[in-house]
Structure 1
């Protein structure tokens, strides 16, 4: 079995559940690894990796839980990939902007290594096609969630680093940035990223107060609300509380929601 390049990602999990596992119940882990390696090689631009580590990088915990305790999920590789990305991006930024302060470089790095950007990179690679997710996630199109896509991208970076080394991981990341066609390395992206600081300065200047953020946990995500003068301005749901606050601040700025507050106050 192989997948055509234009097949949407859940099908790799569906084929495994519907056909591969029933045909190979005793050797399912090795068969899954071989199937994933061949499918990825035939249908993606990912580098050739050991089938075990490649499968691990693409395995969400929901799939491992349902299929076999012998399958490793991608959380450890995600952890490794996050550290590798920080190193790669930090080195590149220091090379591009040798005279920029550490604080600004740190913010710019955060504008690159965050869920939104990593999801964009993941989508450029069509990683959603190859994510192994459990039946529940499959039914709800979980393979297309930004949290799963961004985590998978970090896991792939971690897998490349572990299997082929830092230079291979660096080259792959640079190629992916080009493929995503994003203005990734622009210093100007600082302004659009650090929305929370800009909103805070604007609110303080206009109302002599600070925005107040409140969050509550809902189904493994955070519902985050922003209040100004005890009035709710907007809300978002995000897998990360910190990143969700940035997204919420950006939403308020983009939609000029402070103008609405002025009219109501």
Structure 2
């Protein structure tokens, strides 16, 4: 199917936000097409699951290669844990949200009405799909450099040994060293009971230092703590 003028304009705005000039915008369009939309509209619309599969593999290869070269003494088991921490749903969903991907997702009516464009699992899958689209459109080297750039903070966390630690515990230690106190505040929750999306703020001595989203309160708090640690220059 050909893209409408409005859709092309929207995709160009997003590609600018992503920092990638696509030769084939239809790849980006497919990366943003959720199965719920394709099943609802039918008419030959292609959903993003195949691109997600490809993007996941490209992400893993890029991170695996980086870890293999950066840490020549790191055992296979630790590399596996480190890679998992870098490409986890929370990190990918956060990247997706910050890049504004949710705004351009094509979702079925049900998913749209229940806040699917903010759901961590959908945002993370969409980011993987976008990576798949970048790989097909721009090639391995561009995709690899893009991944390393966007996952820079997570990779630095691995280098500093934070990836295997509890972000809330680390933040607690940092905050206490500054003589401050911390609490986690629920900002909002969306979605049906079986697919909730929580948004929390890490509040340090009354000031909001980081926000996090997650499919559970615990996950959202961890994510908020991670963002707050970036404010302190720890990650």
TM-score between both structures, scaled by the size of structure 2:
0.65
Unaligned runs of 5+ in 1: 1-28, 195-217, 222-237, 251-265
Is the 8 Å Cα contact of residues 143 and 149 (structure 1) preserved in structure 2? yes
Which is worse superposed, 155-164 or 61-70? 61-70
Question: Structure 1 residues 191, 126: CA separation in 2 closer, same or farther (over 3 Å shift)?
Answer: same
Unaligned runs of 5+ in 2: 168-192, 197-213, 223-235
Q: Name 1:118's counterpart in structure 2.
A: 92
Give the Cα–Cα distance (whole angstroms) in 2 for the partners of residues 105 and 80 of structure 1.
21
Give the Cα–Cα distance (whole angstroms) in 1 for the partners of residues 195 and 118 of structure 2.
16
Is the 8 Å Cα contact of residues 55 and 132 (structure 2) preserved in structure 1? yes
Is the 8 Å Cα contact of residues 32 and 48 (structure 2) preserved in structure 1? yes
Question: Structure 1 residues 171, 160: CA separation in 2 closer, same or farther (over 3 Å shift)?
Answer: same
Shift in Å, 1:182: 7.7
Question: Structure 1 residues 126, 160: CA separation in 2 closer, same or farther (over 3 Å shift)?
Answer: same
Larger radius of gyration: 1
- CA displacement 1:74-105 (0-9 Å, x = unmatched): 00100111111000001111222111111111
Give the Cα–Cα distance (whole angstroms) in 1 for the partners of residues 99 and 107 of structure 2.
18
Q: Name 2:159's counterpart in structure 1.
A: 186
Residue among 20, 40, 53 paired with 1:79: 53
Q: Name 2:119's counterpart in structure 1.
A: 145
* SS of corresponding position for 2:133: helix
- CA displacement 1:212-257 (0-9 Å, x = unmatched): xxxxxx8479xxxxxxxxxxxxxxxx87xxxx9x96xx8xxxxxxx
Shift in Å, 1:139: 1.2
TM-score between both structures, scaled by the size of structure 1:
0.58
Give the Cα–Cα distance (whole angstroms) in 2 for the partners of residues 59 and 162 of structure 1.
17
Question: Structure 1 residues 95, 167: CA separation in 2 closer, same or farther (over 3 Å shift)?
Answer: same
Question: Structure 1 residues 173, 35: CA separation in 2 closer, same or farther (over 3 Å shift)?
Answer: farther
Q: Cα RMSD (Å) of the superposition?
A: 3.0
* SS of corresponding position for 2:74: coil
Is the 8 Å Cα contact of residues 157 and 163 (structure 2) preserved in structure 1? no
Give the Cα–Cα distance (whole angstroms) in 2 for the partners of residues 111 and 60 of structure 1.
25
Give the Cα–Cα distance (whole angstroms) in 2 for the partners of residues 74 and 42 of structure 1.
20
Give the Cα–Cα distance (whole angstroms) in 2 for the partners of residues 172 and 35 of structure 1.
27
* In the alignment, structure 1 residue 135 sits paired with structure 2 residue 119: no
